[in-house]
Amino acid sequence: MSIEKYLENIKLSDKHPGPFSVRLKYQLQKEFFEKRSRFGVFSLVTSAAAFVFFIMSTVFVVNPTVAQSIHYVFNRNAVEANRLENIVFVDEGEFLGQKSRSGNQPNTIQGEFFKVSDLSNLDKNKSYIIKKVQGRSESNVFYVSEIKGQSKPKIIY
């Protein structure tokens, strides 16, 4: 008889893990898979946002008018302002000679600009400042402002 034979005859008690097995499995699943799932959704959203930002930045650099168009979608007033900025004076003449670079208008100019498509409709007895607008979709559109206090009829282009 040896110690080996003795050890081989040792009776082990029931070593059943009981509810611990289920409890540990639940904890491991919660720790490794639910957390990973949440992290996965967060990283996916972050990646998608970064991708969209990259595409938009690239488009804005390549074609800045896209950014301008998007701006107009959210700010309609900016469309009109942009058109006035694009006014081209065909003949600056006397008017520009009176206009200061600081942007102050001559005293004689009081009226608001209004849109006219046909200049023949204007009153021949009045003086006007006519600004030709080069819009993107429209052409040969004129913005007209009457020069009040001008005795001699005169049209400035």
Partner 1 sequence: MEIMDEKEIVLRAKKDASAFEYIYEKYFPMIFKYVIIRVNNRDDAEEIVSTVFYKALNKIGSFRWQSVPFSAWLYRIAVSEIGNHYRLHKKSFVIGNRLQIENEIPVDEPEDDNFSYDFIHQYIQQLPQKDQDIITLRYFEKKSFSEISDILNKKETTLRVNLHRALNKLESLIPKEVLADVYRKVS
Please count the CA atoms within 13 angstroms of the CA of 125 that sit on its side-chain side: 0
The reply to whether 24 sits near partner 1 by the rule CB under 8 A is yes
The reply to whether 12 sits near partner 1 by the rule CB under 8 A is yes
What does the DSSP 8-state code read for residue 117? Answer: S
User: Is residue 154 a contact partner of residue 130, using CB atoms and an 8 Å limit?
Assistant: no
Q: How many CB atoms lie within 10 A of CB 63?
A: 11
Whichever of 40 and 111 has its CB closer to partner 1, that residue is 40
For the bound state, the minimum distance from the C-beta of residue 41 to partner 1, rounded and expressed in Å, comes to 15
Stretch that binds partner 1, among 5-13, 59-67, 94-102, 117-125 (CB under 8 A): 5-13
User: Is residue 117 a contact partner of residue 65, using CB atoms and an 8 Å limit?
Assistant: no
For the bound state, the minimum distance from the C-beta of residue 62 to partner 1, rounded and expressed in Å, comes to 39
Site string for partner 1, 26-65 (x = CB under 8 A): -xxx-xxx--x-----------------------------
Taking the C-alpha atoms of residue 69 and residue 74, their distance in angstroms, rounded to an integer, is 9
What does the DSSP 8-state code read for residue 30? Answer: I
Stretch that binds partner 1, among 19-27, 59-67, 137-145, 149-157 (CB under 8 A): 19-27
The closest alpha carbon to 41, from 49, 53, 52, belongs to 49
* Contacting residues toward partner 1, per CB under 8 A: 1-15, 17-18, 20-21, 24-25, 27-29, 31-33, 36
